[in-house]
Structure 1
Amino acid sequence: MSLNYLNTHSHPFCICSLVRLTKHKGVSLYYSNRHTCGGSIITSQWVVTAAHCVHKLPQVSSWVVYAGIVTRSSAKMAQHTGYAVEKIIYNKNYNHRSHDSDIALMKLRTPLNFSDTIRPICLPQYDYDVPGGTQCWISGWGYTQPDGVHSPDTLKEAPVPIISTKKCNSSCMYNGEITPRMLCAGYMEGKVDACQGDSGGPLVCQDENVWRLVGVVSWGTGCAEPNHPGVYTKVAEFLGWVYEMIEVKTLF
């Protein structure tokens, strides 16, 4: 991710992997002892991430969630801070070719202890639509260059403007590949974007005085390329599914 290093005292709300992080730190999802994706805490036992992060890595016991961290090295040094995963659920309509419905939930075996650095992020309202041009924020530990080599130890964040679906679907951008369950954010000239390793992390926007999880890092053509902004799963389109899964799975 071509981002700025995170100021851990800039915001407050979320959790996870990021968000306009105010005072909060990040959420890192580890698989087999390696940072694999980001995520966002929505309750003390549930984390939202991308389906493409988990659908080919189904071994639940190999996943560990680290919350409230800024550096990945701190997770390695404090193994006791990791939270084991009990269940993984990805949306049944997920299509790995089109990237549609790219959203998943992780249930933690034990609840998180909320603190100044670990808190849930608010979900959007039903049918919440962010106008084009709205400045939102992304964050994560993804590659700073698309070569798959330069991965930062420190959580980074950056502002990105929302791009309307009509514009993002134009022939000079994604040419119709953006579905109603996706949204775009970034710059026409590129330079700032999410990248490999940021997947599953948050795109957060301010709604009056509340920061909300508007998108989940999903896909894009390259990283920070001109005319190819980042594409995110539109969380508002999956609120019914999220609430249903949390309610049903919490009973068993």
Structure 2
Amino acid sequence: MSKCTAFILSKTEIITNAHCVAGAPYVYVVAGTKVASDENQKIKIKVEKENIAWHPHYSRLIFGAFDIAKVTLKTPLEFSDTVGSIELVDKDYKLNDPSEVVTAYGYGVLNNIGPMILRRCDANYISDANTSKLSQTLYFTTGEARNDGKIITPGDSGGPVVSKTNGKIVGIIVGINGTGDGRGAFLPITLFLDFIRDPKSVKSLPPPLAPNEAKFIADIMAPAKFVTAYKPDYDDADEDLELKFNAIILSKTEILTCAHNVHGASYVYVIVNKLSSNPTKIKVTKDQIEIHQKYALSGFAFDVAKITLKEPLQFNDNVGSIDLVDKNYKLNDPSELVTVYGDMTLDGTMRTRRYDTKYLNGAICKPEYGAAFDANHLMCYTLDESMGTPFTFGGPIISKKNNKLVGMTIFRSRGKPVIFQPIASLLN
């Protein structure tokens, strides 16, 4: 049974990390003890899963993402000299003064062994500039390293980060980000006040698509050990491993995807009817894969590949094609809505969804990506990261106006707009 830290908001409200409780049929809440591993705890309350709520946008696959949960006690705690509550900062509070000292509390262990003794550590904090500017930001504790050279240690997850200035909770510990210097990572609590007040008030994700809603989307399964724009990532890859990407069905024999999804692969599998219980998996060899001749590993433009199937697909209610816009179509109305389709990871699993967004012209996106971004051939769209982290590369972008394919998702870097390739210029 794993153990995490938590903090008491009221006699019936306990806050901890989602990764500490998500999926558990029950948990125990232990209060009023200095040693968490003490078997003689005076207060130990069993809480069933119906009284455990974790943030609907939490993802096990993304470190720190919406990693918060609320446990509601049926029987109120008895407050005493060793059991009490602590206040949260209000919604207008900003973590924007790096000279401010915060105190992290937790039952973390030293040297990865017990006992789990309640400790505290003062530190300053810094923002992680690489995280999302839209929905959440990770902060790392700094200052003199303690706890055997680490600010945060195993077991501290879910613990409170308290301001030395006002004595209120400003963050929740989510763990160690593997930075090498042992910095602890925490989320600002102000981002989750609505969830803490009422977990049901937070909007859930759009539901996963049904097979017939995604009939024109395919998947590409490629061997992990192949040359891509990120070749170093795969140098030691397991040859039996497969990577999954999105693709688009253009006709019974034509599949469209990103060049970087298939570049260098001796074969790939095309999977259609991907959302059904009986998908079709077709092996395609490299002689059936054509990559745009202007595609370069060093950039994002012309990142498109066409796969030609030897045997035509059988179209049905769950497998079909999508129409292309014509060559004169221009994406020149920033108020126009487009629908992005593809795999999104947020609730701990990868599911195929869609969401509407507006697009931006290339000139706006270029400063975000620099020389690798060709503003003459690429555009981007904004992403509300509360909708999840997209693994949509190769997925379709469809106009809400004419219901035709206008673009294909190419790439994203966390906290930046998502790059896409307009289709009209690629029709030839």
Taking structure 1 as the reference length, the TM-score comes to 0.69
Identify the residue that residue 222 of structure 1 maps to in structure 2.
Answer: 178
Alignment of 1:1-252 (within 5 A): 34=1, 36-56=3-23, 58-60=24-26, 63-74=27-38, 76-78=39-41, 80-86=42-48, 87-98=51-62, 99-130=64-95, 131-145=97-111, 148=112, 150-163=113-126, 165=127, 168-169=128-129, 176-177=130-131, 180-187=135-142, 191-208=149-166, 211-222=167-178, 225-226=180-181, 229-245=183-199
How far is 1:187 from its partner? 2.4
- Equivalent residues of 1:186, 1:192 under 8 A apart: no
Point out 4+ residue stretches in structure 1 off by more than 6 angstroms.
none
Cα-to-partner distance string for 1:86-130 (whole Å, 9 max, x where unaligned): 410000011222221111000113110111211111011103112
- Name the aligned partner's letter for residue 79 of structure 2: F
Aligned to 1:20: none
Supply the AA of the counterpart residue of 1:232.
F
Cα pair 2:131 2:138 within 8 Å, conserved: no
SS of corresponding position for 1:222: coil
How far residue 237 of structure 1 moved from its aligned partner, in angstroms, is 0.6
Specify the code of the residue in structure 2 equivalent to 1:205: S
RMSD, aligned CA: 2.5
SS in 2 for 1:69: coil
Contact 1:160 1:185 in 2 (8 A): no
Say whether the 8 Å CA contact 2:109–2:116 is kept in structure 1: no
Instruction: List per-residue Cα deviations over 1:187-243 (Å, max 9, x = no partner).
Output: 2775331122111111111344xx2111111133338x32x6211121111101211
C-alpha distance 178-160 of structure 1, shift in aligned 2 (>3 A): farther
In structure 2, relative to structure 1, the CA distance for the partners of 1:154 and 1:188 (3 Å cut) is closer
Q: Which has the higher contact order (CA 8 A, sep 6+)?
A: 1
Any unmatched runs of 5+ in structure 2? Answer: 202-428
State how far apart, in whole Å, the 2-side matches of 1:219 and 1:71 are: 20
Specify whether residues 133 and 36 from structure 1 end up closer, same or farther in structure 2 by C-alpha distance, changes over 3 A only: same
Q: Which whole-Å CA distance do the structure 1 matches of 2:191 and 2:21 have between them?
A: 20
**1:187 maps to amino acid:** T
Q: Which amino acid aligns with 1:243?
A: R
Shift, 1:84, TM fit: 2.2
Partners of 2:25 and 2:118 lie apart in 1 by 26
Amino acid at match of 1:143: V
8 Å CA contact 1:50–1:200 kept in 2: the answer is yes
Q: What letter is aligned with 1:68?
A: G
Percent identical residues: 26
Q: What secondary structure, in the 3-state scheme, does the structure 2 residue paired with 1:42 have?
A: strand
**1:82/1:126 Cα in 2 relative to 1: closer, same or farther (>3 Å)?**
same
Kept in 1: contact 2:52–2:71 (CA 8 A): yes
Contact 1:185 1:229 in 2 (8 A): yes
**Whole-angstrom CA distance in 2 between matches of 1:238 and 1:94:** 12
In structure 1, the gaps of 5 or more residues are 1-33, 170-175, 248-252
Larger Rg belongs to: 2
Q: Which amino acid aligns with 1:115?
A: S
Cα deviation, residue 245, structure 1: 3.1
Change (3 A) 1:183 1:177: closer
Alpha-carbon distance between aligned partners in 2 of 1:35 and 1:113, rounded to the nearest angstrom: 25
Matched residue SS, 2:115: coil
Contact 2:104-2:161 within 8 A present in 1 as well: yes
TM-score under structure 2 normalisation?
0.42
